[in-house]
């Protein structure tokens, strides 16, 4: 089923190249079936955009670039609403801070 859905996505891409894309129709026809096949639920575009922003941030993409990709009006909105911390981020940050503050470590 997932392989068929992947083929459907490829077909959809060929059909939509050079044409305006209705994202809601695209989601219903091509994204939802893939998720249903893997027992997942499509929660529409906002969570998708948050996940994209978060993953780009974790890949060390500049926040201003993420803002541009998501077509947001301000980098503040990008940081405060779209980029989410993931479990372990705060712990990892504190460990880096602790290591940086070790005696004998150059500033």
> What is the model's pTM?
0.55
Distance CA 1, CA 94 (A): 44
Contact 65, 94 (CB under 8 A): no
- pLDDT beyond 90 at 53: yes
pLDDT tens for each residue of 71-102: 999 999 999 889 988 777 777 887 888 888 77
């Amino acid at each position: 089923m997932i392989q068929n859905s992947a083929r459907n996505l490829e077909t959809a891409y060929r059909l939509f190249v050079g044409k305006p894309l209705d994202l809601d129709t695209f989601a219903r026809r091509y994204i939802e079936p893939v998720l249903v096949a893997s027992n997942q639920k499509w929660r529409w575009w906002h969570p998708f955009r948050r996940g994209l922003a978060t993953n780009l941030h974790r890949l060390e993409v500049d926040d201003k670039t993420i803002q541009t990709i998501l077509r947001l009006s301000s980098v503040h909105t990008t940081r405060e609403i779209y980029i989410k911390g993931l479990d372990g981020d705060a712990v990892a940050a504190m460990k880096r801070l602790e290591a940086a503050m070790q005696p004998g470590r150059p500033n």
